[in-house]
Chain A
Amino acid sequence: MNSFKDAEHLLRVALVFVAATIAFVLVRAALVPRSFGEYGHYRGNAITEMAAQPVVFAGHQVCEICHSDVAAIKSAGKHVSVNCEACHGALENHVNDPGTVQPPKLDTANLCIRCHQVNGARPASFPQIVADEHSAGLTCETCHQPHSPLPLIGAGAKP
Chain B
Amino acid sequence: MKITRRQLLILLPAAAVAWDSVLAGTPETSPNYKLTEHWWGMLVDISKCIGCGNCVRACATENNVPEGYFRTWVERYHVSDTDLANPVVDSPNGGKNGFPPILGSGGRNFFVPKMCNHCADSPCTQVCPVGATFMTPDGVVLVDKKYCIGCRYCIQACPYGCRFLNPKTQTAEKCTLCYHRITKGLTTACCEACPTGARQLADLKNPSDPIHEFLRTHTVQVLKPYMATGAKLFYNDLDGSVR
Contacts and interface: CB of A to CB of B under 8 A. Distances in A.
* Chains A and B in contact, CB within 8 Å: yes
Interface of A: 33, 36, 39-43, 46-62, 65-67, 69-70, 79, 81-83, 85-87, 89-90, 95-96, 98-99, 114-115, 117, 119-123, 126
Contacts of B76: 121
Interface stretch (B12-20, B113-121, B157-165, B219-227): B12-20
Contact of A115 (B12, B52, B134): B52
B169 interface: no
Given A98-B12, A121-B76, 6 more contacts: A41-B131, A47-B35, A50-B180, A67-B3, A90-B62, A121-B111
Interface residues of B, number: 64
Given A46-B146, A65-B15, A95-B19, A53 B180 contact: yes
B167 interface: no
5 contacts: A40-B137, A43-B147, A65-B11, A81-B196, A120-B101
B192 A60 contact: yes
Interface stretch (B21-29, B204-212, B228-236): B21-29
B183 interface: yes
Contacts of B111: 121-122
Contact of A62 (B8, B18, B132): B18
Nearest to B142: A50
B80 interface: no
Given A40-B134, A90-B62, A57 B101 contact: no
Nearest to B3: A66
A43 to B, nearest CB: 5
B127 interface: no
Contact of A48 (B19, B27, B101, B181): B27
A48 B11 contact: no
B61 A59 contact: no
A55 B186 contact: yes
Contact of B109 (A55, A62, A79, A120): A120
A29 to B, nearest CB: 17
B110 interface: yes
Given A48-B27, A52-B26, A126 B196 contact: yes
Contacts of B27: 48-49, 51-52
Contacts of B144: 42-43, 46, 49
Which 6 pairs show the lowest CB-CB distances between chains A and B? A120-B102, A53-B180, A42-B134, A46-B144, A52-B27, A121-B109
Looking at A36, A51, A59, A61, which has the most chain B CB atoms within 10 Å of its CB? A51
B103 to A, nearest CB: 9
Contacts of B12: 66, 98
A70 to B, nearest CB: 6
A86 to B, nearest CB: 5
Given A57-B193, A81-B196, A41 B61 contact: no
A81 B50 CA distance: 13
B19 A47 contact: no
